[in-house]
Amino acid sequence: MSPPRFSELPTHLRHAVENQPTNPDDNNDDILVIGIDFGTTFSGVAWATVADFNSNQINIVNNWPGMKTQEGKVPTEIYYENGSMSWGSLIPSDCDPVRWFKLLLVHEEDLEPELKSSEFIHKARKFLAEEDKTAVDLIADYLRVLWVHTLQTIAKARRQVVLDALRLHVVITVPAIWKGYARSYMEQAARQAGILEERLAGTTALSFVPEPEAAGLSTLSEPERKISKDDVFVVCDAGGGTVDLITYKVSNVKPIMIEEAVEGKGGLCGGIFVDQAFEIKSKKCLGRRWVRLSRNDINDVMRVDWEGGVKPQCTPSLDRDYPIRVPAAAFPDGKTNDTNCDPIIKNGRMIFTSGHIEGIFSGVFRDIDSLVDDQIQSSEGQNLSITGIVLVGGFGASPYLYEHLRDRYKASGIDIVQSEGMKPRTAICRGAVIKGFTLIAGEDESPKLNPETLPIKVTSTISRASYGSIYRTPFVTGIHEEIDKVWDNDECKDMATNQMEWYLKRGEVVSAKDTVRKSWYRTYQKDFGGLVTVDIQGCDEKVPPSRNTDLVKHECSINCDIGIPFSELSDWENPEGKKLKRLVYDIEMVPSGATLEFNVYLDGRKMGASNVAVKFE
């Protein structure tokens, strides 16, 4: 078998409209869309039926086990003991749960240096080794209890019999920078968690959406948001671990249509790093006193006094002191005052000044400012002026972050937009629901849900990576490198191997309507069993190389069972008169933002899903 070559027929770029012909017998008024924001530090769920969505109602799961008040999110934490498992707010305060396990889906070599050395990552990896679990197992365990609670909540609101009759479309949000293998692991975890189990109402559909896109869909479509054509908004999704920025230009108002204006960026500067800065400052202040504190004591300081008290209330404009209670165990000698430490301790409380608070936030703010400045400069390079910066995510609800950005960009005339209440924290799961209905409308234009009535739609995105295939082509001196020259016994000529043909390059605009389709062929001397494997490569460089180098990494494999007897393949005779068989096929890439989907065509006929399997590594 010879390696694949670019087809000698004209190489083409074909465009296919995603919308399929409507089946008049189908009706989507029995669909329930559930959006899951599985976050690094907190997770949230939203849901809506067709009737809900048509009346501008997206429901939020805000009653969580172990929580005394309504909250839009639950901690992404899990704890195992004596064969039982606790999760979220049900974990006892004196326990040390597994955190940040979402990031274990990412290969260690793909993690940022700061994450590789993170205490949470080390603890999570150690836990997996000790318990003989995989990252998929851990995430599946968490998603399973999250899923059960979600279904119980919906059944309580709408009755179990109604829920049982509804077909489900689940949309899970994923980081925009995740590679295909991590998204594939998430799908495995969802299946293992029982999310896709068979139901009497029919098969449960599963889709993915990038977290910043979901944030943009929900925040820019809010009724109170004033949107004009050609407005440009930076959506700042500030979560617990990461901050992701994406810039959208409004191309249409009724309905709202937005397009990604410049390539989005992200960084490790979420709210957890503010918490770590506070903890470091507290440890330095208390010194040996800190060591005397139990896990329960430390949780009280961090979660009750800091995360639940000072952190969500302090702002740069408030010049005041913030007392943080120190548990009594820190003072075995009964001396609860110390003016020699920084901050000072008075009456058993660390007295954080506004200057201390500013220092705690400053490191994270420098990183966020850099990300925002990059989006502004990139937009200016496209002759675009930023209208506003929209804050979403758990950390996006911080009044301190709001005032910092407001003061920093006041002179630029850029509005800083922050919704009230739970909206910033629940923006991503609400956006996942909107994405779900957008996908449904594109596949099944039922009169009950007309695509024209959808509040918002992303019409194009910008690719954050390049994707292509390695191939060989006739060698041309001066164009190809000598190291790539090989003699091809089938073609009877020198070929340039190790060449790259890119379906999509980083920075290119990807329309929601467009697919990329290229023709290839393979030549065979004997029966190959009808099984063909096509490898897809990826590259994160701004300018991908024209040949396969160390910068190119394997992305996935497409395994095809062509279902055609060897004898029925096209005959082909080489220059030496030798009769061979030739297989001509098309590979179509469907870029959808969160995932890469591939279709295989033989003789213009799309192969069925049972004959094609895409495997990410």
Q: Is residue 204 domain-shared with residue 100, that is, in the same domain?
A: yes
Flag whether pLDDT at 590 surpasses 60: yes
Which residues of 428-474 form beta strands (DSSP E)? 456-462, 466-474
End-to-end CA distance of the chain: 24
Assess whether 89 and 173 both reside in one domain.
Answer: yes
Find out whether 344 and 351 touch, Cβ atoms under 8 Å.
yes
Q: So what's the pLDDT on residue 7?
A: 43
Pairing of strands 243-252, 232-238: antiparallel
Per the domain annotation, does 451 fall within a domain? Answer: no
CA distance 271 to 241: 6
Residues 244 and 393 in one domain: yes
Instruction: Check pLDDT > 60 for residue 14.
Output: no
Residues 259 and 292 in one domain: no
Q: In terms of domains, do 480 and 602 share one? A: yes
Note whether residue 219 is domain-resident: no
Q: Exposure string (b/e) for 520-545, b if CB count within 10 Å is 16 or more? A: bbbbbeeeeeeebebebbbbeeeebe
Any idea of the CA torsion for 25, 28, 31, 33, to the nearest 10 degrees? 140
What CATH number has the domain bearing residue 506?
2.60.34
Q: Take residue 516 and report the two structure tokens written for it.
A: 């990329």
Give percent of the chain above pLDDT 70.
Answer: 93
Q: What is the mean pLDDT of residues 447-455?
A: 67
The mean per-residue pLDDT over the stretch 352-358 comes to: 97
d(CA 447, CA 342): 66
3-state SS record for 35-104: EEECCCCEEEEEEEEHHHHHCCCCEECCCCCCCCCCCCCEECEEEEECCEEEEHHHCCCCCCCEECHHHH
Whole-angstrom distance, CA of residue 589 vs CA of residue 455: 28
Residue 379 belongs to domain with CATH number: 3.30.420.40
The residue out of 360, 383, 400 marking a domain boundary is: 360
Q: What is the pLDDT of residues 73-122, one digit of tens each?
A: 999 999 999 889 999 999 998 888 999 899 889 888 887 777 777 777 88
- Residue 21 pLDDT exceeds 50: no
Mean pLDDT of 580-584: 95
Element (H, E) at 355: helix 354-381
SS3 510: strand
Q: Are residues 239 and 279 in the same domain?
A: no
Q: CA of 36: how far to CAs of 42, 171, 419, in Å? A: 11, 6, 20
Q: Average pLDDT, whole number, for the chain?
A: 89
SS3 assignment, position 582: strand
Look at residue 110 and tell me if it is in a domain.
yes
Give the type of residue at 397: A
What's the sign of the alpha-carbon dihedral 561, 565, 567, 570? Answer: negative
8 A C-beta contact, residue 345 and residue 337 = yes
Average pLDDT over residues 565-575: 94
Q: What domain range is 600 assigned to?
A: 5-17+462-616
Tell me if 187 is assigned to some domain: yes
Residue 448 lies in a domain: no
pLDDT at residue 615 above 50?
yes
Q: What single string gives the DSSP state of each residue in 234-286?
A: EEEEE-SS-EEEEEEEEEETTTEEEEEEEEEEEES-SHHHHHHHHHHHHHHHH
- Residue 4: pLDDT band by 50, 70, 90 thresholds? low
Integer Cα distance of 304 and 325 in angstroms: 10
Q: Is residue 22 part of a domain?
A: no
Report the run of H or E that residue 153 belongs to, with start and end: helix 135-158
Q: What is the mean pLDDT of residues 470-494?
A: 96
pTM (2 decimals)?
A: 0.87
Choice between 14 and 226, residue whose per-residue pLDDT is larger:
226
Task: Say yes or no: 542 and 479 in one domain.
Answer: yes
Task: Kindly give the interhelix angle for 135-158 and 180-192, rounded to the nearest 10 degrees.
Answer: 60
Burial of 420 (0-12, 13-18, 19+ CB in 10 A): exposed
Could you tell me if 228 and 117 lie in one domain?
Answer: no
- Is position 453 within any domain? no
Residue 494 host element (H or E): strand 493-504
The count of structural domains within the chain is 4
Do 416 and 434 have their domain in common? no
Give CA–CA dist 313/403, Å, rounded: 12
Please tell me whether residues 147 and 189 are part of one structural domain.
Answer: yes
As a whole number, mean pLDDT of residues 387-413 equals 94
Indicate whether 488 and 510 sit together in one domain. Answer: yes
Q: How far is residue 220's CA from residue 417's CA, in Å, rounded to a whole number?
A: 10
Rg value, the chain, Cα: 27
597 and 488 co-located in one domain: yes
Domain end position, chosen among 338, 360, 382: 360
Residue 115 forms part of a structural domain: yes
Domain boundary residue, one of 309, 341, 360: 360
